[in-house]
Amino acid sequence: MASRTGEDLVIDAKELCLTFDANDGPVHALKDVDLSIERGDFVSFIGPSGCGKTTLLRVIADLEHPTSGSITVNGMTPEQARLERAYGYVFQAPALLAWRTIQRNVGLPLEIMGLSAAEKAERVARTLDLVGLDGFGQKFPWQLSGGMQQRASIARALAFDADLLLMDEPFGALDEIVRDHLNEQLLELWRKTGKTICFVTHSIPEAVYLSNKIVVMSPRPGRVTDIIESDLPADRPLDIRESKKFLDIAQRVRNGLRDGHSYE
C-alpha cells in the first residue's frame, strides 16, 4: 500500500460542510466530513438515502459547491480538476443520448475534447472491448438491455482516460444477477487499470465485495460515521461473499449504519 504522502492523495477533504437552503430551514447535506482517498483505492460510500453520499460525490465532481471546509482533487480545487478533466462520472441512469449510437455515445467526451478521429476510434474500440460491448457499437441505446446500457455509460467514463472514476449507484436500477455480473467486471477492470474509484451504493454486500475502503455515512446531518479498511484479497470470486471475513466486514458496516440511525 502506498504511503500517505500528499502526492498520493487523490481526494483530501477537511471539515467539509454543505448546507442547502430549503423552505423549512437549512438542510445539512454534509457536516464536518474528513476524508482522504489514496491513488488506486476503491472506496465505497454507503448509507441510507439522505446521508449525503451522492452530494459528496457531486462535490468532488464540482457539480455542487461546499459551504465551508476544504477539499482537493488531485491536489487541485474540484473546479480545476473538472476543467483538467480529472475524472469520469457514471450516473445512476445510463444517461446515453438516444440519437447517438453506442459508439458515438462513448465518443462524445472525446469529441468535446477535440481528439482526432483516429484516436477517438481507437479509444472507443478499446473501452467498448473493456466492458464487453465490442460488436454493439453500431446499436442505438434502446436496442440494448439496461445492464448493457449502463456498461456503455461506464465505457464512456473510461474513454476519458481519467485516473479517477466517480460512480453514483451505477447498478442501483439493475436486477441482482446482472448486478453480480457487472460487479465482477468492475472489479476486474479496477485490477486491470489501477484507477481510483469512488462508488456510491446502498447495498452492503456490493460495498464490501468491491472496495478496499468503505465509508459509512448517516443522515441528518450527513456525516461520516465509520471508515472501514477491508483486507479481503485482491482476487475476489463471487463466493467470497460466503466467507467469514466478508461477513465480519459486512457486520461492521451494518453496525455502523445502525449507530448512525440511533442518533435520531
Partner 1 sequence: MTGALSRVFPIATVVAAIMVVWYGFTVYLNSPWQIEQYEKAGIEWQMEDLVRDTMAHDRPILPAPHQIVIEIWETTVEKKITSKRSLIFHGGVTLSSTLLGFAMGTILGIGLAVSIVENQAMDKSLMPWIITSQTIPILAIAPMIIVVLNAVGLSGLVPKAMISTYLSFFPVVVGMVKGLRSPDPMLMDLMHTYKASRWQMFWKLRLPASVPFLFASMKVAIAISLVGAIVGELPTGAVAGLGARLLAGSYYGQTIQIWSALISAACMAAILVAIVGVVSHHTLKRMGLRA
Of the residues 27, 95, 115, 227, which one makes contact with partner 1 according to CB under 8 A? 95
Cβ closest to partner 1, residue 72 vs residue 105: 105
Runs of H (alpha helix) within the chain: 53-60, 78-83, 102-113, 117-130, 146-159, 176-193, 204-210, 244-261
Grid cell locating 245: 471475513
Of the residues 7, 15, 34, 111, which one makes contact with partner 1 according to CB under 8 A? 111
The least distance separating partner 1 from the CB of residue 167, rounded to whole angstroms, comes to 13
Q: Does 76 bind partner 1 (CB under 8 A)?
A: no
SS3 content of the chain, % helix, strand, coil (to 5): 40, 25, 35
Of the residues 142, 233, 234, 239, which one makes contact with partner 1 according to CB under 8 A? 142
Q: Does 140 bind partner 1 (CB under 8 A)?
A: yes
Segment 201-230, which members bind partner 1 (CB under 8 A)?
A: none
Q: Name the 3-class secondary structure at 126.
A: helix
Q: Is 114 left (phi over 0), alpha (psi -120 to 50) or beta?
A: left
Of the residues 87, 136, 171, 209, which one makes contact with partner 1 according to CB under 8 A? 87
Q: Does 163 bind partner 1 (CB under 8 A)?
A: no
Q: Does 174 bind partner 1 (CB under 8 A)?
A: no
Judged by CB under 8 A, the stretch of 3-11, 55-63, 67-75, 243-251 that binds partner 1 is 55-63
The least distance separating partner 1 from the CB of residue 95, rounded to whole angstroms, comes to 5
Q: Does 101 bind partner 1 (CB under 8 A)?
A: yes
Q: Starting at the edge strand that comes first in sequence, how are the strands of the sheet with 25-38 ordered? A: 25-38, 9-22, 68-73
Q: Per DSSP, what are the bridge partners of residue 165?
A: 88, 197
C-alpha distances out from residue 103 to 53, 79, 120, 123, 129, Å:
31, 28, 10, 10, 11
Provide the binding-site residues for partner 1, judged by CB under 8 A. 61-63, 82-83, 85, 87-89, 91-93, 95, 97-101, 108-109, 111-113, 140, 142
